[in-house]
């Protein structure tokens, strides 16, 4: 049924009054904020699922970035050993590897952000869902990528200690 309100009556107040008077009622009172509760539940479930997918992708990307930095270091092992023989410290070489990992984070974020911007537009046009790529969301994703690449770089930099100038 549809109920029309007159004067200063609010649907929210009506819903609360109905819930108080009929606590065992088997009906739902919906207004414009809760027109389709099934959609809200679906969006909440989809949000949880996509959050899990995103975290999994972040972990996989972290492992991939770590492997990329480690492979780069393995290719440059003789160069690193030569630099150590010239007097460069492990700390300096570690900072160099860490800066390379951070450059990797920026180079990975920029195209990913651009692709996400395009995909947001496609999803908005297809589903008419109110979504936006906010700076807050992009910033939090960049911080996650930055942290992941920093951790990968630090783990890969452990190999620098093993480089022997005599090799």
Local confidence pLDDT in tens for the 167 residues of the chain = 777 777 777 777 887 888 888 888 877 777 777 777 787 788 888 888 988 988 888 888 888 888 888 888 888 888 888 888 888 888 888 888 888 888 888 888 899 888 988 988 898 888 887 778 888 988 888 898 888 888 888 887 777 777 676 66
- DSSP secondary structure code for residue 35 in this structure: S
Q: 101: closest CA among 59, 54, 141, 67?
A: 67
Distance of alpha carbon 74 from alpha carbon 162, whole angstroms: 11
Q: 98: closest CA among 163, 143, 156, 161?
A: 156
Q: What is the pLDDT of residue 25?
A: 80
| Cβ atoms within 10 Å of 66's Cβ, excluding its own | 19
Q: What is the pLDDT of residue 167?
A: 63
Q: What is the pLDDT of residue 72?
A: 83
Cβ distance 105 to 145 under 8 Å? Answer: yes
How far is CA 7 from each of CA 10, 11, 30, rounded to the nearest angstrom? 9, 12, 19
Distance of alpha carbon 137 from alpha carbon 79, whole angstroms: 40
Cβ distance 156 to 74 under 8 Å? Answer: no
Distance of alpha carbon 45 from alpha carbon 141, whole angstroms: 21
Q: 71: closest CA among 156, 161, 154?
A: 156
Q: What is the pLDDT of residue 61?
A: 82
What are the backbone angles phi and psi of residue 63, rounded to the nearest 5°? Answer: -65, -40
| Cβ atoms within 10 Å of 65's Cβ, excluding its own | 23
Q: Note the pTM of the prediction, 2 decimals.
A: 0.61
Q: What is the pLDDT of residue 127?
A: 84
């Amino acid at each position: 049924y549809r109920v029309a309100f007159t004067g200063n009556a609010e649907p929210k107040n009506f819903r609360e009054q109905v819930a108080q008077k009929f606590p065992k009622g088997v009906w739902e009172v919906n207004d414009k904020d809760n027109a389709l509760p099934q959609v809200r539940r679906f969006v909440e479930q989809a949000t949880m699922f996509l959050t899990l997918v995103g975290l999994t992708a972040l972990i996989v990307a972290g492992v991939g970035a770590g492997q990329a930095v480690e492979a780069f270091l393995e290719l440059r092992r003789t160069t690193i050993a030569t630099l150590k023989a010239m007097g460069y410290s492990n700390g300096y070489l570690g900072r160099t590897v860490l800066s390379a990992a951070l450059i990797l984070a920026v180079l990975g974020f920029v195209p990913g952000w651009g692709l996400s911007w395009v995909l947001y537009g496609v999803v908005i046009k297809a589903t008419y869902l109110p979504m936006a790529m906010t700076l807050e969301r992009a910033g939090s994703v960049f911080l996650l990528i930055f942290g992941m690449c920093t951790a990968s770089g630090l783990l890969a930099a452990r190999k620098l200690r093993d480089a022997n100038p005599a090799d």
